[in-house]
Amino acid sequence: MDLILWRHADAQEGHDPDSPSADAQTAQAQSWSENTDLARCLSSRGIKQASRVASWLDRQLTDRARIMVSPAIRCEQTALALGRKYKICPELAPWASVDDLLALVQWPVNKLPVLVVGHQPTLGQTVSRLLGSSQPDMAFRKGTLWWLRSRERDGLTETVVVTVQSPEFL
């Protein structure tokens, strides 16, 4: 199985769910914060990043690939740059877990390639787990993608890195 993990491109400023925050005053304040975060759009820099990576990715990705996108606007805008059909998946929201992501994409048994457009720290944690890293989280800059492949070798399933692409180098 090929699993392509693409972190959303640079977004406008706002609440960053990846950074520590003070305890929420109320459940309503937390809900408002989550909704505000989901509504953040790409910055002009992010639009350029998404376009660069999408241009490269479109040449590499088969027509059979499934594209799954977080419900955050910045992720949808990142996926739109690719110009292909995609599915919004609540399981990929900013607070998603590695287990949520892997169950959704059916790793490693899915026969089709899957592109996930999502968030840190989930994407970095997923890469770390699949590669058996001692680090709990891999660095995953905005707009960057990691292409992983599962394969059978000597009766064991292993994960290999096909490529890592960053908008700054495309």
The two three-digit tokens of residue 55, written as one number:
């241009």
Q: Where residue 68 sits, what CATH number does that domain have?
A: 3.40.50.1240
Share of residues in the chain with pLDDT > 90 (%): 79
Q: 103 lies in a domain? A: yes
Q: Give tens-digit pLDDT for 22-77.
A: 443 444 344 446 678 899 999 999 999 999 999 999 999 999 999 999 999 999 99
Q: 17 lies in a domain? A: no
Q: 18 lies in a domain? A: no
Tell the residue number behind the tokens 């599915």, with chain if given. 87
The two three-digit tokens of residue 116, written as one number:
């996930």
Q: What is the pLDDT of residue 36?
A: 82
DSSP letter assigned to residue 42: B
Taking residues 87-97, what's their average pLDDT?
96
Q: How many helices (H) and strands (E) does the chain have?
A: 5, 6
Q: 15 lies in a domain? A: no
Q: 119 lies in a domain? A: yes
The two three-digit tokens of residue 93, written as one number:
């929201």
- Closest by alpha carbon to 73, among 107, 106, 119? 119
Q: Which domain holds residue 140?
A: 2-10+28-169
Per the structure, the count of domains in the chain is 1
Q: What is the pLDDT of residue 22?
A: 40
Q: 131 lies in a domain? A: yes
125: pLDDT strictly greater than 70? yes
Tell the residue number behind the tokens 């592109």, with chain if given. 115
Q: 99 lies in a domain? A: yes
- Closest by alpha carbon to 59, among 147, 119, 126? 147
Q: 68 lies in a domain? A: yes
